[in-house]
Structure 1
Amino acid sequence: MSAAGGDGGGGALRPPATLSARQLARRRRRDALGRNWRIFRGNRSGLLGLAILASFVLVAIAAPLLASPEGLDVTKATGGVLEPPSSEYWLGTDDQGRSVLTLLIWGARISLFVGLAATLISMVIGTLVGLTSGYFGGWAGGALFRVTEWFLAIPFLPFAIVLATVLGRSLLNIIIVIGVTSWPSTALLIRSQTLSIKERPYLERARVLGAGRWHQMSRHVLPNLMPMVFANTTLTVAIAILTETTLSFLGLGDPTRVSWGSMLDDAFAVGAITTGAWWFIVPPGVCVVLVVLAFTLIGQALEEVLNPRLKDR
């Protein structure tokens, strides 16, 4: 009776509302993101890298608020030649009287943009080549695999220098050069993972149920590859930034843009090391090291989050 009275009083348990497939997928993704964030948050080095990277990104976004773009104009420079740090110029001036701090702030935009844009090109090419080569096989997959091996056999930096020299000095060309020369390792990684995914039972069931190749690749293979692609992206960005710095240091960067690499090139050209103008060469070098370190730490933390074997450990 009491149970019946409770039901009549509105205290009965109601059956849970059924969720659609889309709502279930959203909930699972939300739960997975929450679990992955808790694992990432437990990695101190990953959090340190994220904090360093976030600081540089904020500086790059807020560059117009932190330093006037007129400070990049040589004709409007107000400082002396290679002045040491002072209350007016916190990091001194370059050989043309411009504030080194202003150059650093605006150079963060170019270095980060080149690194991210070149990595995007590299990831797209590497993922497409690796996925196609691993999934289809046959003569087409074999040919793509041989092309990947051929690119891997070529020394990376000399190849990039030759391409940058042929294409000319511009920001777009630098992005293309880095993107075109840095994809083979990603393609090899994606190909090996695709070959492993092809043999899994759920893909066999999808084939038996009549799923076409495009459906299998887009709904089953590619989603399982994305965590690896995402983790590899953070490591590739670090390589891209280092390559941009190297090419700019060798005088192959865009002469109309200020980047950390071009600052190092200018410092070397005026003999900043021999003249003792450490403020012109140390800050951009430290910025490059910190950004590369940040992406490396984030990449290692993401590998721990997305790799089930490392996660179990």
Structure 2
Amino acid sequence: MSSRVGPAEGVLGRLRGFWAVFSSDRAAVVGLAMFTAILLIAIFADLIAPYSPYERVGRPYERPSWKHLLGTNDIGQDIFSELIYGARASLFIGFLAAVIGTAIGTLVGIVAGYYGGIVDEVLMRIVDIWLSIPTLLFAIFLAAVILRTSGVPMFYSVIFAIALTSWPPVARLVRSATLSIKERPYIESAVALGASPSRIMMKHILPNVAPLILVEVVVRTAIAMLTEATLSFLGLGDPALKSWGTILHFAMIKNALILGLWWWFLPPGIMIALTVLSVVLIGRGLEAYFNPRLRRQ
């Protein structure tokens, strides 16, 4: 009597294998727990926040108290509520910018790696030129000059600026993986059977670089969140959006550091650091699972 493993059992088996490797890295598990808590705060911000972050609910510059856990800002808005809603804004911007940037880099990398020759040469020279420009300065330029003058809303200008500065490293990694994958026998068989280049890239190469893409999305999310916080801190973000970077921006222009208003500038800085750390730790755990060499180490 033969035993058959259904699709559900196969998926569960892969999930168990993934968790066995991932959970062996305690730092990755801690990062996952931290990120899950922050994600839940972002999702249920409407239920957790005691006040609307846009309403004046107290006197200006109130110190932390039971009524206002992190005090109030210069116009009497509750900083604890701002911090909770800031999780939603910062995570959304960081993740969306990372997905867009990784998608662009993946497309460029697969096309360059598969076609090779003059296509590869031209695309990689573009990548080299892009990488020669300091990322933060380029993001500032895109957000402040090109995207704003084109009439793009400030919210999207930040996302596009971050995405357009984050794709070149992804393109290089995916190109290297594609160069290796396209030499495998099943790719040669697909070519011999007359499969079109687009079908080969989408059906055979893309699934094989998917683990690399997943890790890159995670890593790029952390970098994008830091970039967004920097742009917002410099006043290039959407002032109507309660992101952690925007909170820091208004704390800076109101001299919170000089006035000793630690409850205004310190919590968003800590949340940015914890979130980025959690994403980096998760990325390390994913890389250990998808990279057999790291797993053996």
What TM-score, normalized to structure 1? 0.88
* Change over 3 Å in CA distance of 1:272–1:15 after alignment to 2: closer
Indicate yes or no: 2:90 matched with 1:111.
yes
Q: For the residues of structure 1 that align with 2:40 and 2:116, how far apart are their CA atoms?
A: 45
Q: For the residues of structure 2 that align with 1:35 and 1:112, how far apart are their CA atoms?
A: 28
Could you list the runs of 5+ residues in structure 2 that have no partner in the other structure?
Answer: none
- Aligned positions of 1:255-266 closer than 5 A: 255-266=239-250
Q: For the residues of structure 1 that align with 2:126 and 2:52, how far apart are their CA atoms?
A: 47
Indicate yes or no: 2:194 matched with 1:215.
no
Indicate yes or no: 2:233 matched with 1:249.
yes
* Structure 1 residue corresponding to 2:179, chosen from 172, 187, 195: 195
Indicate yes or no: 2:15 matched with 1:33.
yes
Corresponding position of 1:90 = 69
AA aligned to 1:117 is L
What TM-score, normalized to structure 2? 0.93
Q: For the residues of structure 1 that align with 2:89 and 2:48, how far apart are their CA atoms?
A: 16
Shift of 1:15: 4.3
Q: Is residue 53–residue 85 contact of structure 2 (8 Å, CA) maintained in 1?
A: no
AA aligned to 1:265 is H
Shift of 1:191: 0.6
Shift of 1:70: 3.3
Q: Is residue 57–residue 76 contact of structure 2 (8 Å, CA) maintained in 1?
A: yes
* Change over 3 Å in CA distance of 1:275–1:210 after alignment to 2: same
Corresponding position of 1:185 = 169
Corresponding position of 1:48 = 30
* Change over 3 Å in CA distance of 1:200–1:255 after alignment to 2: same
Shift of 1:177: 0.7
* Change over 3 Å in CA distance of 1:68–1:130 after alignment to 2: same
Q: What is the RMSD computed on CA atoms of the aligned residues?
A: 1.7
Corresponding position of 1:227 = 211
SS of equivalent to 1:226? helix
Q: For the residues of structure 2 that align with 1:84 and 1:69, how far apart are their CA atoms?
A: 16
Q: For the residues of structure 2 that align with 1:163 and 1:68, how far apart are their CA atoms?
A: 37
Shift of 1:146: 1.1
- Aligned positions of 1:1-313 closer than 5 A: 14-16=1-3, 28-67=10-49, 70-73=52-55, 77-166=56-145, 167-168=147-148, 170-313=154-297
Q: For the residues of structure 2 that align with 1:15 and 1:276, how far apart are their CA atoms?
A: 73
Q: For the residues of structure 2 that align with 1:69 and 1:61, how far apart are their CA atoms?
A: 16
Shift of 1:69: 5.9
